[in-house]
A and B are shown apart, each in its own frame.
Chain A
Amino acid sequence: MRKILAILIILQLLSVNMKAQEWVVPDDRKGRLSTFPFDDNTRSSGQKIYNLNCMSCHGTPGKSNYLNLVPPPGDPATDKIQHNSDGEMFYKVQSGRGQMPSFRSVLTSDELWQVVSYIRSFNKSYKQQFRAVISSSAYPGATINMTLALNEPDSTFILTAWADRETGRVPVTDAGVRIFIHRTFGHQAVDEEKITDKTGKAVFKIPLKLNGDSLGNVTVSARFVDEDTFGTASKDTVLAAGIRTYPVSLVKERAMWNKASKAPLWIMLSYILGVLIAWSFIIIVLLKIRDIYITGKYIESAESEKQNN
């Protein structure tokens, strides 16, 4: 039943795509702004994310070398993409459409804004507006913050969220929250979505055999599921929740795929010996030609001496 439903939804989505060439962004999302100003740091982070996730289809911005797909992905440096507001761009990358995948669970809000920051660097007439204060419709006028802590005996992460108003601090309750662990190629979700309790706390179970670095550290990141209601507050924290791992470099041992100096010994020896043997014979032959020359010269001069005598 679920499968059929899923297929129906996909078909529905596809047919919507077919009909609606225009990519409509909900009005309340259009005006959304980044919570931080774009600078060289955000641009370079954005570039890294772009190169990993976007470049394979959109190409290098400004070079129009995007993939020849239907509909065409387009070059982010061109008007076609630059005419979007920051909010529209954010929405489109986050939600995806048709062949463009959704990056909702791949990139955090901050990372999405960094991508926007990078794309905007190709638009000289662009002037950024940003919203420094994180607003929340549930806690109007308040600044929302969260912390993450490790509860080692229970093997859990404890998230605490609160809102600071002029009148004082209150816990953020009934808010859906998720946490992720930063990994090389994306984020690893921890446990499921949790709802903050009356004290603004949510408890996440740490997965078994969670690999950390050599100190057991992992970078944990928390955010609200409904960012429109609770704002884009997020928290990155390094916690010693993982197992200590000592990664061995794949290029440490001699191997076929390794660089020349790390080639398997047998192949190095075979190559070098083969070349040496072949070329030493060639040199011997060259010396033989020299011998022919010297012999001829010697005998000729001997003969002519004989004749002179």
Chain B
Amino acid sequence: MARSIYNTDIHREKLESVSSDILRNVRINKGFIIWMGILALALAACVFAYTIQLKKGLGVTGLRDATSWGMYIATFVFFVATSLVGMLISSVLGLAGVKWIRPIARIAEIIAVAFAAIAGLVIVSDMGRPDRLPYVFMFGRFQSPILWDVTVVTTYFFVSLMLWFIPLIPDLAIAKTRLNGRPGFLIKAYELLSVNWINHDRQVKIMHQAMRILLILIVPLAFAIHTVTSWLFALTPRAGWDSTIFGPYFISGAFVSGTAAVIIAMYFYRENYRLSRYLTNDHFEKIGRVLALVSIIYIYFNINEFLVPAYKLKTHDAIHLRELLTGHHAMLFWSVQLLGLVIPVILLLIKRMRRPLPLLLISAVVLTASWFKRYIIVVPPQEHPYLPVQNVPIEWMVYKPTVIETAVTFGSLILVLMIITVLSKLFPVLPVWELAEEEASAKGEENKQ
């Protein structure tokens, strides 16, 4: 017989209060329109910059013979890295039975979907001839990490999208009758997307099966996507990229930037959506610990990545490391390592720093440093090619991003924000159904006592 969460009074009462809290934010209000308008205007400027690049070619960027991967690829790596948090929260912690991630899982998936969706687009912005994108599939070589990368990014995006969508189905069904005053298209979309969900046992069982498949599938996929991204670098013999630990080095770094992004989103929803009842101080305390843990792991990989070649100082590694540690890039390198990793870890060990506001500030610094970290991974190794070049202008060897390039990069970030905005404004950001059940069962236990 159909199991319905409307059966008991506790359930009904809880469901009503949870759904009204969470669905209150599902609406197209002035704020949403103004915010999207600002984003759209800014995006238009960035698109204009891109049309210049499209017309005149990549010469309008700072990319040259020696440094042919710059800001774009750094941003691509950063986006892929940040999107990995979906797997960490939902799968690694979720499958381990960690309960407190329930209200965060969907936020993590929103981050994952938005960053993974635009990561592919960033690659296109790095192409001088984007019309040749289909060639990857037409003439792609099985031996090329580029083909693997395109494949896994696409697959990971689809799986993340489903990991966001499937747990949303019961919420859509709950919400579709409670969306009075919202635009008709939204109600219709809810009706369509809720795929006849009536919370029947059989449906719940199917959904659990689907989720279990996805949660297991996303683990190797997430490892694949970021390991392959690291192989784009590590499969070349270039000093600074030629490393056997690049895969785990990238993945551990990904968890740092992803967790920081989730914390920022959590804080935003908690304050703006007035959800402090569900995103409690305790949640921040716990995810603060997660950030400390993943940062410590990342520091460990950093020590390996720099200490091992720095001990041996092979000719080309020495040139690269000197530039990084004491030379041209030293300022950026040490800022990123200290401000983005070491100091945050020290702060996070203090309990008071894991409260929402301090944690938000730490996360903002960590996330910013994460981008610069990718820049440091991508750009400096290209400035010392094995084949020496003489008598060429300095800008051929030393990369300096141009305004157009920066604008296009910002454009990709704006697109990410737009996706996050749409997903978190048109759909519930917290799982209504699960939270209602959780609150109800907690209440039930209290009653028993």
Binding site for B on A (CB under 8 A): 67-70, 99, 256-260, 263-264, 267-268, 271-272, 274-275, 278-279, 281-282, 284-286, 288-289, 291-297, 299-300, 303
Q: Is the CB of A296 within 8 A of B155?
A: no
> In the complex where A256-B143, A263-B142, A282-B162 touch, is A69 in contact with B391 (Cβ < 8 A)?
yes
> In the complex where A278-B217, A299-B2 touch, is A263 in contact with B141 (Cβ < 8 A)?
yes
Residues on A with beta carbons closer than 8 Å to the beta carbon of B158: 282
Residues on B with beta carbons closer than 8 Å to the beta carbon of A300: 196, 198
Docked pose: A291 CA to B392 CA in angstroms: 64
Residues on B with beta carbons closer than 8 Å to the beta carbon of A267: 142-143
Docked pose: A180 CA to B166 CA in angstroms: 75
Q: Is B403 an interface residue (CB 8 A)?
A: no
Q: Is B213 an interface residue (CB 8 A)?
A: yes
Q: Is the CB of B210 within 8 A of A282?
A: no
Q: Is B273 an interface residue (CB 8 A)?
A: no
Q: Is the CB of A281 within 8 A of B217?
A: yes
Smallest Cβ distance from A276 to chain B, in angstroms?
A: 11
Q: Is B78 an interface residue (CB 8 A)?
A: no
Q: Is the CB of A291 within 8 A of B141?
A: no
Docked pose: A99 CA to B391 CA in angstroms: 10
Residues on B with beta carbons closer than 8 Å to the beta carbon of A278: 155, 159, 217, 221
In the complex, what residue of chain A is closest to B235 when comparing beta carbons? A256
Q: Which of B139, B147, B198, B392 contacts A299 (CB 8 A)?
A: B198
Q: Is the CB of B196 within 8 A of A259?
A: no
Q: Is B203 an interface residue (CB 8 A)?
A: yes
Q: Is the CB of A299 within 8 A of B213?
A: no
Q: Which of B203, B210, B217 contacts A295 (CB 8 A)?
A: B203
Docked pose: A256 CA to B140 CA in angstroms: 13
> In the complex where A263-B143, A278-B221, A282-B155 touch, is A295 in contact with B213 (Cβ < 8 A)?
no
Q: Is the CB of A68 within 8 A of B221?
A: no
Docked pose: A294 CA to B195 CA in angstroms: 8
Q: Which of B143, B195, B221, B392 contacts A293 (CB 8 A)?
A: B195
10 further A-B pairs in the complex, CB-CB below 8 A; given A99-B391, A260-B141:
A271-B148, A278-B155, A279-B155, A285-B162, A292-B196, A295-B200, A295-B203, A296-B197, A296-B203, A300-B196
Residues on B with beta carbons closer than 8 Å to the beta carbon of A294: 196
Q: Is the CB of B196 within 8 A of A295?
A: yes
Q: Is the CB of B392 within 8 A of A296?
A: no
Smallest Cβ distance from A278 to chain B, in angstroms?
A: 5
The 9 A-B residue pairs with the shortest CB-CB distance, nearest first, are: A296-B196, A288-B210, A293-B195, A263-B142, A260-B141, A268-B142, A285-B210, A271-B142, A281-B217
A interface majority secondary structure: helix
Residues on A with beta carbons closer than 8 Å to the beta carbon of B151: 271, 275
Smallest Cβ distance from A81 to chain B, in angstroms?
A: 20
Pairs across A and B, CB under 8 Å, 9 listed:
A256-B143, A260-B143, A263-B142, A272-B142, A278-B155, A286-B162, A292-B203, A295-B203, A300-B198
Residues on B with beta carbons closer than 8 Å to the beta carbon of A70: 391
Mask: chain B, 195-230; 1 = CB below 8 Å from A; 0 = not: 111101011001101100110010001001000000
Q: Is the CB of B196 within 8 A of A293?
A: yes
Docked pose: A87 CA to B198 CA in angstroms: 92
Q: Number of B residues contacting the other chain (C-beta, 8 Å)?
A: 34
Q: Is B169 an interface residue (CB 8 A)?
A: yes
Residues on B with beta carbons closer than 8 Å to the beta carbon of A68: 391-393
Q: Which of A275, A284, A303 contacts B213 (CB 8 A)?
A: A284
Q: Which of B210, B217, B392 contacts A289 (CB 8 A)?
A: B210
Q: Which of A264, A286, A295 contacts B143 (CB 8 A)?
A: A264
Q: Which of A257, A258, A260, A296 contacts B195 (CB 8 A)?
A: A296
Docked pose: A257 CA to B143 CA in angstroms: 8
Docked pose: A286 CA to B158 CA in angstroms: 11
Q: Is the CB of A67 within 8 A of B148?
A: no
Residues on A with beta carbons closer than 8 Å to the beta carbon of B214: 281, 285
Docked pose: A204 CA to B280 CA in angstroms: 93
Q: Is the CB of B195 within 8 A of A282?
A: no
Q: Is the CB of A296 within 8 A of B200?
A: yes
Mask: chain B, 152-179; 1 = CB below 8 Å from A; 0 = not: 0001001100100010010000000000
Residues on A with beta carbons closer than 8 Å to the beta carbon of B224: 274
B:48-95 near A, CB below 8 Å: none
Docked pose: A122 CA to B207 CA in angstroms: 72
Q: Which of A264, A275, A282, A296 contacts B159 (CB 8 A)?
A: A282
Docked pose: A295 CA to B205 CA in angstroms: 11
B:111-133 near A, CB below 8 Å: none
Docked pose: A237 CA to B19 CA in angstroms: 92
Q: Please indicate which of the listed interface residues B142, B197, B203, B217 has the most CB atoms of chain A within 10 Å of its own CB.
A: B142
In the complex, what residue of chain A is closest to B221 when comparing beta carbons? A278
Docked pose: A218 CA to B223 CA in angstroms: 56
Q: Is the CB of A285 within 8 A of B143?
A: no
Docked pose: A289 CA to B166 CA in angstroms: 8
Q: Is the CB of B142 within 8 A of A296?
A: no
Smallest Cβ distance from B229 to chain A, in angstroms?
A: 16
Residues on A with beta carbons closer than 8 Å to the beta carbon of B202: 295, 299
Smallest Cβ distance from B163 to chain A, in angstroms?
A: 10
Residues on B with beta carbons closer than 8 Å to the beta carbon of A289: 166, 169, 195, 210
Docked pose: A294 CA to B147 CA in angstroms: 37
In the complex, what residue of chain B is closest to A293 when comparing beta carbons? B195
Docked pose: A257 CA to B235 CA in angstroms: 13
Q: Is the CB of A291 within 8 A of B206?
A: yes
Residues on A with beta carbons closer than 8 Å to the beta carbon of B207: 288, 292
Residues on B with beta carbons closer than 8 Å to the beta carbon of A279: 155
Residues on A with beta carbons closer than 8 Å to the beta carbon of B140: 260
Smallest Cβ distance from A303 to chain B, in angstroms?
A: 8
Residues on A with beta carbons closer than 8 Å to the beta carbon of B159: 278, 282
Residues on B with beta carbons closer than 8 Å to the beta carbon of A297: 196
Residues on B with beta carbons closer than 8 Å to the beta carbon of A263: 141-143
Smallest Cβ distance from A251 to chain B, in angstroms?
A: 12
Residues on A with beta carbons closer than 8 Å to the beta carbon of B2: 299, 303
In the complex, what residue of chain B is closest to A286 when comparing beta carbons? B162
Docked pose: A288 CA to B139 CA in angstroms: 34
